[in-house]
């Protein structure tokens, strides 16, 4: 069945990209300008790289490039060009690398590939790194080994800030997992890791001045200072800035376990599921003495100019119920908790400024008392971005880029930073919109499933932030994202393979085909439904090994099936390749429940999937019934179609925190079968 699905996909792809330049088929993010040349550059054992100068970042970048190329081609390459062998890739970089990468550094490059040689020129090592990634993305199997199509690419990012937030507070993520995600970010030309270093559930960074922060505020899982320094270097080598977030005054209960005097309540505090909200006490001088020392220590670990202070979701309950805080607010003429938080933010901003750092906060921090240097990150809606820009603040967009909401890549892809009110801004105001960040909040994340929650969907956000605004074709994006997804797997990402290991754990030993058939067409529920539906307390210590934790956020199989049904119906039920593909798939689904049932009945973790498995079989049967009518160009009985409706509605509802993703195309087949072949396809009248 898979071979057929893949064959069908290749046909669909071949059709959708025939107008594109060959080189563009696998590029993601799409470069600013691509011009096809003639022929291709063959990559064989004689492939040699030369570079001017000996910048360490460039040298290590070339080494990784050659290692990656070796893995993909099976060839060994000499690291340096010898006198006797001609150079295949000549790299020219105008300036050496800076010790500290800055916002707005030149990241442009020009890559020219002919049938005899390639030349990569860039003002800075950042451009060289991006150009090498572009070159890797174009390498493909050719008749003479590997080859890169002849092409001229001129490229630079649309936005200077292209970030990914990873939350390690709710669930600790080991450095090796973060490192491979940095490699993936570099492949997608993202340049900021926003590191949400702690939250109510855990404090994840070693403080030597305040060791009770990590000792009492975590389960022992935190990063040492030496590890942090190494990690920052690792990122710098890949053209990625690390922007740390020290969340305050809310979302910081883990700080108060060891230092309860920081909190606004009576304490004691604990890192336990369901513990009430807590917030820093902004009225005490000692609070700021602590934060000054804490931030002095922390900011020395992170060379980046920017530091995030969080500032979101302060519900103020602890402030409302503390008489001393109420008296302070009264004495200072503060009308509400926003005023108190603004007071706090100003003090923190002054501290950060003293430590030569620029403050970023979530959109709640937007307040006229703050200096215009502050950067505002919009998460509650896109409007705050325009509002901030109008008021003179710089901003970042994250609303619409929340990867934890389990949206399809296409939905993130459609979120345009310059749309809505931002489209009406003056040029100067627009220039204050620095870019955006996707967000991987970790309520339902483990080291095992995090790659699959970030990738490949994050590549769609990366492209939105790098490529020209006109690059919008969703079919092209998906085709290129599929290619990119495999490349990431070769880089060591586990976003594809984690499904297999998760399924095998649930199923125990034995054949997994039937379970895989089901798993490949279901997705976790969307938005915050999983959290909202929790009856009891969210227990962050629970092992996240249910099907909803294992299946991919966006089903490739469902998307392909949907495409096949579209193709088939648009052809007026005449496309036999599409029909065969659909039929084979439907038969597999129809027969799947009987095969899977014994496994479901014998596994504690799989039992909850019974209703979904039954639904999939019913969908397969109904789809086949409809397909038979379509094939014969005979209208299906109206009564039968009416009877399918409740079954389809039921199959479309969430079960076990999962959604079956093929109800839509089955409904299309059933609806179209009523027309006897006359009114088919969504584009026909
Ligand atoms: C946030 O999602 N509370 C920034």
Statement: residue 390 has pLDDT above 50: yes
Ligand 1 touching residue 227 (CB < 6 A)? no
Residue 515's SS3 state is helix
Among 165, 170, 312, 527, which residue has the most ligand 1 atoms within 8 Å of its CB, making it the best to mutate?
312
CA-CA-CA-CA dihedral for 343, 348, 354, 355, to nearest 10:
-170
**What's the pLDDT score for residue 83?**
61
Report residue 125 CA to chain centroid gap: 25
**pLDDT over 70 for what percent of the chain?**
94
Statement: residue 20 has pLDDT above 90: no
pLDDT 10s digits, 643-662: 999 999 999 999 999 999 99
Q: How many CB atoms lie within 10 A of CB 650?
A: 13
d(CA 106, CA 84): 35
- Ligand 1 atom showing the smallest separation from residue 402 Cα: 2
* Alpha helix stretches (DSSP H) within 17-55: none
Residue 504 burial (C-beta neighbours within 10 Å; 0-12, 13-18, 19+): middle
**What's the pLDDT score for residue 613?**
98
Structure confidence at residue 681 as a pLDDT band (50, 70, 90): very low
Ligand 1 touching residue 312 (CB < 6 A)? yes
The hierarchical CATH code for the domain 14-155 is: 3.30.379.10
Ligand 1 touching residue 383 (CB < 6 A)? no
CA angle 607, 608, 614 (to 5 degrees): 90
Taking alpha carbons only, the member of 37, 57, 36, 50 closest to residue 121 is: 50
| Mean pLDDT of all residues in 105-129 | 98
**What's the pLDDT score for residue 18?**
37
Statement: residue 489 has pLDDT above 90: yes
Q: Up-side HSE of residue 622: CA atoms within 13 Å toward CB? A: 28
Secondary structure (DSSP) of 561-616: HHHHHHHHHHTTS--HHHHHHHHHHHHHHHHHHHHHHHHHHT-TTTGGGHHHHHHH
Residue 34's SS3 state is strand
CA 55 → CA 92, 98, 126, distances in Å? 11, 10, 12
Taking alpha carbons only, the member of 292, 295, 311 closest to residue 250 is: 311
Ligand 1 touching residue 146 (CB < 6 A)? no
CA-CA-CA-CA dihedral for 144, 147, 151, 153, to nearest 10:
-170
Ligand 1 touching residue 362 (CB < 6 A)? yes
Mean pLDDT, the chain, integer: 94
Tokens matching residue 553? 């956020």
d(CA 258, CA 281): 15
CA angle 261, 263, 269 (to 5 degrees): 90
Structure confidence at residue 17 as a pLDDT band (50, 70, 90): very low
- C-alpha of residue 312 to centroid of ligand 1, in Å: 6
Least confident of 292-296, 348-352, 504-508, 619-623: 504-508
Atom 2, ligand 1: residue with shortest CA distance = 379
CA 464 → CA 188, 189, 398, 467, 510, distances in Å? 11, 11, 12, 6, 43
- Ligand 1 atom showing the smallest separation from residue 313 Cα: 3
d(CA 499, CA 75): 30
Counting every residue, how long is the chain? 685
Statement: residue 685 has pLDDT above 80: no
Ligand 1 touching residue 443 (CB < 6 A)? no
d(CA 60, CA 41): 24
Q: Which part of the chain has CATH 3.30.379.10? A: 14-155
Taking alpha carbons only, the member of 304, 336, 273 closest to residue 99 is: 304
- C-alpha of residue 654 to centroid of ligand 1, in Å: 25
Report the predicted TM-score, pTM, of the whole model to 2 decimal places: 0.95
Q: In which element (H, E) is residue 152 found?
A: strand 145-155
d(CA 380, CA 337): 18
* Domain 161-484 classification at class level: alpha beta
Among 194, 245, 313, 360, which residue has the most ligand 1 atoms within 8 Å of its CB, making it the best to mutate?
313
pLDDT 10s digits, 201-255: 999 999 999 999 999 999 999 999 999 999 999 999 999 999 999 999 999 999 9
d(CA 658, CA 549): 10
Residue 642 burial (C-beta neighbours within 10 Å; 0-12, 13-18, 19+): exposed
Strands 522-524 and 658-660 turn out to be antiparallel
List of long-range contacts for 377-380, beta carbons under 8 Å, 24+ apart: 377/308, 377/437, 379/312, 379/439
pLDDT 10s digits, 257-285: 999 999 999 999 999 999 988 999 999 99
- Ligand 1 atom showing the smallest separation from residue 439 Cα: 2
Tokens matching residue 565? 């049904």
**What's the pLDDT score for residue 140?**
87
Strands 433-440 and 394-397 turn out to be parallel
Ligand 1 touching residue 402 (CB < 6 A)? no
Q: Active-site positions?
A: 313
| Mean pLDDT of all residues in 529-536 | 90
Q: How many CB atoms lie within 10 A of CB 447?
A: 15
Q: Which part of the chain has CATH 3.20.20.80? A: 161-484
First-to-final CA distance of the chain: 33
- C-alpha of residue 363 to centroid of ligand 1, in Å: 9
Residue 419's SS3 state is coil
């Amino acid at each position: 069945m898979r071979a057929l699905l893949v064959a069908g996909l290749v046909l669909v792809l071949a059709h959708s990209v025939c107008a594109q330049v060959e080189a563009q088929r696998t590029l993601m993010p799409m470069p600013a300008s691509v011009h096809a040349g003639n022929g291709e550059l063959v990559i064989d054992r004689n492939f040699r790289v030369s570079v001017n100068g000996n910048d360490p970042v460039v040298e290590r970048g070339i080494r990784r490039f050659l290692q990656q190329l070796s893995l993909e081609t099976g060839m060994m390459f000499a690291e340096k060009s010898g006198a006797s062998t001609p150079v295949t890739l000549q790299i020219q970089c105008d300036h050496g690398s800076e010790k500290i990468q800055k916002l707005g550094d030149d990241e442009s490059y020009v890559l020219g590939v002919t049938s005899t040689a390639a030349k990569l020129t860039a003002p800075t090592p950042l451009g060289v790194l991006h150009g090498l990634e572009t070159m890797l993305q174009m390498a493909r199997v050719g008749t003479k080994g590997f080859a890169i199509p002849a092409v001229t690419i001129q490229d630079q990012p649309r936005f200077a800030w292209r970030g990914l937030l990873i939350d390690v507070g709710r669930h600790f993520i080991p450095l090796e997992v973060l490192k491979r995600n940095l490699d993936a970010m570099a492949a997608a030309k993202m340049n900021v890791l926003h590191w949400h270093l702690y939250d109510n559930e855990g404090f994840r960074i070693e403080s030597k001045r305040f060791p009770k922060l990590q000792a009492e505020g975590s389960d022992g899982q935190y990063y040492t200072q030496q590890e942090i320094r190494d990690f920052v270097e690792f990122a710098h080598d890949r053209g990625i800035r690390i922007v740390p977030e020290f969340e305050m005054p809310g979302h910081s209960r883990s700080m108060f376990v060891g230092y309860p005097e920081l909190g606004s309540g009576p304490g004691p505090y604990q890192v336990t599921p369901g513990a009430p909200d807590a917030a820093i006490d902004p009225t005490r001088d000692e609070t700021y003495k602590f934060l000054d020392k804490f931030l002095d220590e922390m900011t020395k670990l992170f060379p980046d100019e920017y530091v995030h202070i969080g500032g979101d979701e302060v519900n103020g309950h602890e402030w409302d119920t503390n008489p001393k805080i109420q008296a302070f607010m009264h004495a200072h003429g503060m009308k509400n908790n926003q005023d108190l938080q603004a007071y706090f933010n100003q003090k923190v901003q002054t501290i950060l400024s003293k430590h030569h750092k620029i403050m970023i906060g979530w959109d709640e921090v937007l307040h006229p008392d703050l200096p215009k240097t502050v950067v505002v990150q919009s998460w509650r809606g896109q409007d705050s971005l325009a509002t901030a820009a109008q008021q003179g603040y710089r901003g970042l967009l994250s609303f619409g880029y929340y990867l934890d909401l389990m949206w399809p890549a296409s939905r993130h892809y459609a979120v345009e930073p310059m749309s809505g009110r931002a489209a009406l801004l003056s040029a100067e105001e627009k220039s204050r919109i620095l870019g955006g960040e996707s967000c991987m909040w970790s309520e339902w994340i483990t080291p095992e499933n995090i790659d699959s929650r970030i990738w490949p969907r994050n590549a769609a956000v990366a492209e939105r932030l790098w490529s020209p605004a006109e690059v919008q074709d969703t079919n092209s994006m998906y085709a290129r994202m599929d290619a990119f997804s495999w490349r990431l797997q070769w880089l060591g990402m586990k976003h594809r393979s984690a499904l297999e290991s998760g399924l095998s754990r649930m199923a125990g030993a034995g054949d997994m085909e039937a379970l895989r058939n089901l798993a490949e067409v279901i997705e976790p529920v969307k938005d915050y439904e999983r959290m909202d539906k929790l009856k009891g307390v969210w227990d962050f210590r629970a092992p996240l090994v249910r099907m909803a934790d294992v299946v991919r956020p966006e089903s490739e199989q469902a998307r392909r099936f949907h495409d096949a049904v579209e193709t088939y119906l648009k052809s007026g039920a005449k496309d036999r390749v599409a029909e065969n593909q659909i039929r084979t798939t439907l038969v597999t689904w129809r027969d799947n429940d009987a095969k899977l049932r014994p496994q479901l009945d014998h596994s504690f973790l799989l039992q909850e999937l019974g209703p979904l498995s039954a639904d999939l079989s019913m969908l397969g049967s109904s789809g086949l019934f409809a397909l038979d009518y379509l094939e014969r160009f005979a209208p299906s009985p109206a009564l039968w179609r009416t009877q399918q409706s409740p079954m389809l509605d039921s199959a479309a509802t969430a079960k076990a925190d999962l959604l079956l993703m093929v109800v839509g195309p089955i409904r299309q087949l059933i609806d179209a079968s009523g027309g006897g072949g006359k009114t088919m396809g969504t584009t026909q009248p």
